[in-house]
Amino acid sequence: MHYKEAKGILSSTNGMNLYRGCTHGCIYCDARSKCYQMDHEFEDIEVKINAPTLLESALRSKRKKCMIGTGAMSDPYLSLEPELKLTRTCLSLINQYGFGLSIQTKSNRILRDIDLLKSIHEKSKCVVQITLTTYDEEICKIIEPGVCTTRERFEVLLKMKENNIPTVVWLDPILPFITDTEENLRGILNYCVEAKVYGIICFGMGLTLREGNREYFYQQLDKHFPGLKKRYQETYGYAYEIMSKHNDKLMKIFYDICQNNHIVCDNKKVFQYLHEYEEKNKTEQLSLF
């Protein structure tokens, strides 16, 4: 871990990353790609120590309320967060200034902040996004070794449902020859149906590989799935998009289950929902008390 004084915190689309790098150890992580020009070891987490000061200044200066997003490039609930409380401090500011929140994580550490998530949603809008990649708990421990398992993330979704906080699931990535099975897909989707998620983001049954994350992914295949690296290389070469040969069949199952259970599965509509700010009227707010 090392600290850094950031120059700014919100992007042009009001997204923020409080940390840079990750300790989850997911074998497929695109954030390892060289195109992001990280100048430190991926597991040596960069902490934007002045993020709360920058965020408060940015929120004060905004003329219109909006959704603030976090978690797109670095999970806001890394192993450092319980000690540093950087995410909690920033959520408190978002709550204080009446902005909305769209937060993405793989960690059940988010449950620590459910009081703030509820308060933000009561005042405006809060959407919790959870990534699910495999129904098999043992495979999950291999491909996502430093974070809670899929079952524990499902329990987060249930807890959000109990508290009327809407959720979106990222069904991404699906690993060819490992998780691209009907059984795996149906298991994940059954979790989504039971948790009554608002929507699911899915870019197809596959993953992306480019310089930086490809090498790490292949190292982990050699370690955990002997012989599979060669199969990937023979099947896909150096392609960026690695799509399962079962994509068409699995996507049909995906769309059928989503439509039958009123889960939004149009990526464009889900992204629109994540960015739409909703301010509760005063009468509605008063009724909460």
3-class secondary structure per residue, the chain: CEEECCCCCCCCCCEECCEECCCCCCCCCHHHCHHHCCCCCCCCCEEECCHHHHHHHHHHHCCCCCEEEECCCCCCCCCCHHHHCHHHHHHHHHHHCCCEEEEEECCHHHHHHHHHHHHHHHHCCEEEEEECCCCCHHHHHHHCCCCCCHHHHHHHHHHHHHCCCCEEEECCCCCCCCCCCHHHHHHHHHHHHHHCCCEEECCCCEEECCCCHHHHHHHHHHHHCCCHHHHHHHHHCCCCEEECCCHHHHHHHHHHHHHHCCCECCHHHHHHHHHCCCCCCHHHHHHCC
What pLDDT is stored for residue 278 in this prediction?
A: 86
The mean per-residue pLDDT over the stretch 149-174 comes to 98
In 3D space, the residue among 210, 265, 212 whose CA is nearest the CA of residue 242 turns out to be: 210
pLDDT band of 217, cuts 50, 70, 90: very high
Tell me the pLDDT band of 288, cut-offs 50, 70 and 90: very low
Average pLDDT of span 197-217:
97
> Could you give the percent of the chain with pLDDT greater than 70?
97
Task: Give residue 279's pLDDT band: very low, low, confident or very high (50, 70, 90).
Answer: confident
- pTM, whole model, 2 decimals? 0.95
Pick the CATH number of 2-287 from 3.40.50.11900, 3.30.1390.20, 3.20.20.70, 3.30.1540.10: 3.20.20.70
**According to the model, what pLDDT value does residue 267 have?**
98
Can you tell me the mean pLDDT for 269-275?
Answer: 98
Q: Which residues contact 127 (CB under 8 A, 6 or more apart)?
A: 101, 102, 103, 165, 166, 167, 168, 198, 273, 274
Query: What is residue 188's predicted lDDT score, i.e. its pLDDT?
Result: 98
Residue 285 to residue 289: CA distance in whole angstroms: 7
pLDDT at 286: 43
What's the confidence (pLDDT) of residue 184? 98
Mean pLDDT of the residues in the chain: 95
Characterise 97 by phi-psi region: left (phi > 0), alpha (psi -120 to 50), beta (else): alpha
Q: Provide mean pLDDT across the span 129-158.
A: 98
| CA-closest candidate to residue 130, choices 177, 178, 198, 40 | 198
Give the max Cα distance, the chain: 63
Q: Which residue type, as a one-letter code, is found at position 227?
A: G
* Residue 282 confidence (pLDDT) above 60: no
- Give the pLDDT confidence score for residue 289 in this predicted structure: 38
Q: What is the pLDDT of residues 103-140, one digit of tens each?
A: 999 999 999 999 999 999 999 999 999 999 999 999 99
117: tokens are: 């998530």
Confidence of residue 44 (pLDDT cuts 50, 70, 90): very high
Least-confidence region, from 163-167, 251-255, 276-280: 276-280
Measured CA to CA in angstroms, residue 218 lies from 6, 89, 232 at distances of 33, 38, 9
Domain range annotation of the chain: 2-287
pLDDT confidence band for 281 (50 / 70 / 90): low
pLDDT at 194: 98
Residue 178 has pLDDT above 70, yes or no: yes
Model pLDDT, residue 232 = 98
The Cα–Cα gap between 226 and 240 comes to 22
Whether pLDDT at 283 is above 80: no
Rg (CA), the chain: 19
| pLDDT mean over 255-275 | 98
